[in-house]
């Protein structure tokens, strides 16, 4: 049994556009975009999701892939998938920023590790928050929620359909909200270390013979560990708030309401 060239091109056109959107989402998605995840795993997962999505999404308009219109559509689908996946990066960045603030205030910022996601040096506290965020993200099925959002995007933003450019402005606006959530998590450590440093200042004024440089650093480190333990008591609450805000942004990105989706 032979297959004509038109049949092969039509089959490729039906599957290639959803595959581009899904693979772009996985490429920029939190946890899956890490350098520790092999490309083969992401490619296999993208092919599996494409195979499962094809029977439940609106059938795209069939036209020649290797044409100007085809390349424009591929770029369009790539940007949509990239935006949906990039939304989840805010979850990790919120707690990386909070971890950096806590580390710098408590004196724990001297120890740093290479972030496998960004490839840059970050404090160990930020890495610790990133690990906890990753565990909670998978524990509450955040990846499944994102896959559902990705599947729903094919209905709201069909393939080869115009996409509003004003939606990208929401990403810039969310940057301020990201710092607000990070600051709300780390504000307690800032206030606590301010009191510790103020106490050292009073002690140095009252007893100048005390060497603040030899005592202050050790006590600040011990106080930082205690403060970090207290900060962890509100970690889950801030994680829930971050998840809600991030997925609200994802739903806004595709023009939907999260209560109807989740």
Q: Are 94 and 68 in contact (CB under 8 A)?
A: no
247 CB contacts (<8 Å, ≥6 apart)?
87, 145, 149, 258, 262
- Find the domain containing 226 and state its range: 5-261
Query: What pLDDT score does 115 carry?
Result: 59
Residue pointed to by tokens 């772009």 = 24
Q: Are 179 and 172 in contact (CB under 8 A)?
A: no
Query: What pLDDT score does 64 carry?
Result: 67
- Structure letter (DSSP) for residue 232: G
Question: In whole angstroms, how far apart are CA 73 and each of 22, 82, 129, 175, 239?
Answer: 14, 14, 38, 29, 36
The reported pTM is 0.77
Looking at the structure of the chain, the number of domains it has is 1
Encode the chain (262 residues) as per-residue pLDDT tens digits.
555 656 666 667 777 888 888 998 888 888 887 777 888 888 888 888 888 888 787 776 666 667 777 788 888 888 888 888 888 888 888 888 888 888 777 767 666 665 555 556 667 777 788 888 888 888 888 888 888 888 888 888 777 766 655 566 777 777 777 888 888 888 888 888 888 878 877 777 777 666 666 676 777 777 778 888 887 887 888 888 888 888 888 887 777 766 544 4
Residue pointed to by tokens 């990403």 = 171
Alpha helices in the chain (DSSP H): 5-28, 39-53, 68-87, 89-106, 124-139, 142-156, 169-206, 212-231, 235-254, 258-261
């Amino acid at each position: 049994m032979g297959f004509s060239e038109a049949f092969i091109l039509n089959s490729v056109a039906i599957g290639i556009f959803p595959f581009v959107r899904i693979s772009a989402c996985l490429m920029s998605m939190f946890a899956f975009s890490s350098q520790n995840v092999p490309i083969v795993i992401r490619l296999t997962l993208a092919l599996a999701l494409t195979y499962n999505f094809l029977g439940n999404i609106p059938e795209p308009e069939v036209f020649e892939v290797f044409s100007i219109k085809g390349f424009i559509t591929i770029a369009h689908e790539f940007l949509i998938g990239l935006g949906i996946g990039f939304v989840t990066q805010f979850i990790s960045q919120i707690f990386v920023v909070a971890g950096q603030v806590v580390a710098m205030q408590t004196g724990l910022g001297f120890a740093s590790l290479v972030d496998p996601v960004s490839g840059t040096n970050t404090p160990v506290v930020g890495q610790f928050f990133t690990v906890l965020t990753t565990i909670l993200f998978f524990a509450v099925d955040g990846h499944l929620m994102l896959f559902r959002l990705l599947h729903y995007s094919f209905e709201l933003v069909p393939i080869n359909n115009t996409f509003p450019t004003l939606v990208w402005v929401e990403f810039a606006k969310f940057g301020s909200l990201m710092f607000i959530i990070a600051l709300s998590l780390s504000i307690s450590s800032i206030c606590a270390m301010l009191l510790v440093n103020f106490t050292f200042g009073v002690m140095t004024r009252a007893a100048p013979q005390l060497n603040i440089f030899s005592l202050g650093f050790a006590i600040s480190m011990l106080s930082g560990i205690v403060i970090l333990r207290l900060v962890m008591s509100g970690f889950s609450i801030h994680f829930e708030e971050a998840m809600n805000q991030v997925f609200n942004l994802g739903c806004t990105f595709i023009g939907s309401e999260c209560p109807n989706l989740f």
